[in-house]
């Protein structure tokens, strides 16, 4: 089972803090659910809803893939998928479930994406602003970006979340204004459920 592990500039500089924190979270979820599928193993509803905009074939990047719920959905739809995550545990679980996944353990804070390489980039519940210009460059012309993550509105429910990890109103739309914005919305997902989330969601295409 081949998994690619990338280190910054060839040095063993993986920031073990984030990797360890996410490994612990995935381990705890797994023990808690005793082998049942976690929400991280299912595709995000916004991705499923917007599947008419997915390319029929080609290469997709799932940035901060987690356990591969989105990656699995994309593979089922005929795409080749490269999934990158800092948590080696998450990447190994995803690869075990999805043998054709191009699985990469890497820290996206020191990662370079190749230009014009991807037909699709998905970014769900991960916020690293300096990746955004790379996403635009890394899409092929006609390539699609699907993005959803938490907004500052979330602080009304979770004041403990650091604002730097939350999108400001209109920020996501503005960041990708040079793409053709197909869908954009801000609001609550699952408002009456167990885990309500204030999010901004976007589907955009590179001209
Ligand atoms: C909230 S989860 C989202 C997972 C998946 N995208 C989803 O929607 O289910 C955030 C993911 O970001 C990953 N992550 C955090 N920091 C990272 C970094 N610096 N580089 C790569 N992945 C990172 C974590 O390991 C975790 O899997």
Tell me the C-alpha distance between 95 and 89, whole Å. Answer: 10
pLDDT level of residue 31 (50, 70, 90 thresholds): low
- What is the tens place of the pLDDT at every residue in 107-147? 999 989 999 999 999 999 999 999 999 999 999 999 999 99
Say how many Å lie between the CA of residue 124 and the centre of ligand 1: 8
Which atom from ligand 1 is nearest to the alpha carbon of 44? Answer: 8
Residue 48: predicted pLDDT? 97
For residue 188, CA distances in Å to 46, 125, 157, 169, 201 come to: 12, 14, 11, 13, 10
Angle at 186 between CA 120 and CA 133, to 5 degrees: 40
Q: Are 54 and 77 in contact (CB under 8 A)?
A: yes
CB of 73 within 6 A of ligand 1: the answer is no
Which atom from ligand 1 is nearest to the alpha carbon of 148? Answer: 8
Which atom from ligand 1 is nearest to the alpha carbon of 15? Answer: 19
pLDDT level of residue 33 (50, 70, 90 thresholds): low
- What is the tens place of the pLDDT at every residue in 50-72? 999 999 999 999 999 999 999 99
Collapse the DSSP code of 181 into the 3-class scheme (helix H, G, I; strand E, B; otherwise coil) and give the result: strand
Query: Which domains are seen in the chain, by residue range?
Result: 3-205 (3.40.50.150)
CB of 201 within 6 A of ligand 1: the answer is no
Tell me the C-alpha distance between 190 and 196, whole Å. Answer: 5
Q: Which helix (H) or strand (E) holds 188?
A: strand 180-189
């Amino acid at each position: 089972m081949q998994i690619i592990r990338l280190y910054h500039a060839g040095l063993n500089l993986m920031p073990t803090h984030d990797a360890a924190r996410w490994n612990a979270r995935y381990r705890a979820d797994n023990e808690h659910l005793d082998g049942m599928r976690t929400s991280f193993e299912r595709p995000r509803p916004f991705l499923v809803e917007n599947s008419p905009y997915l390319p029929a074939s080609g290469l997709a990047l799932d940035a901060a893939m987690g356990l591969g719920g989105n990656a699995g959905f994309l593979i089922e739809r005929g795409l080749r998928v490269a999934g990158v995550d800092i948590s080696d545990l998450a990447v190994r679980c995803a690869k075990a479930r999805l043998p054709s996944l191009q699985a990469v353990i890497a820290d996206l804070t020191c990662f370079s994406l190749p230009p014009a390489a991807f037909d699709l980039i998905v970014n769900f519940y991960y916020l690293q602003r300096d990746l955004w210009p790379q996403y635009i460059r890394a899409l092929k012309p006609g390539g699609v970006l699907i993005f959803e993550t938490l907004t500052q509105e979330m602080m009304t429910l979770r004041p403990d979340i650091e604002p730097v990890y939350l999108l400001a109103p209109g920020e996501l739309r503005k960041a990708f204004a040079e793409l053709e914005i197909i869908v954009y919305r801000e609001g609550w997902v699952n408002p009456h459920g167990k885990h309500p989330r204030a999010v901004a969601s976007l589907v955009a295409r590179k001209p």
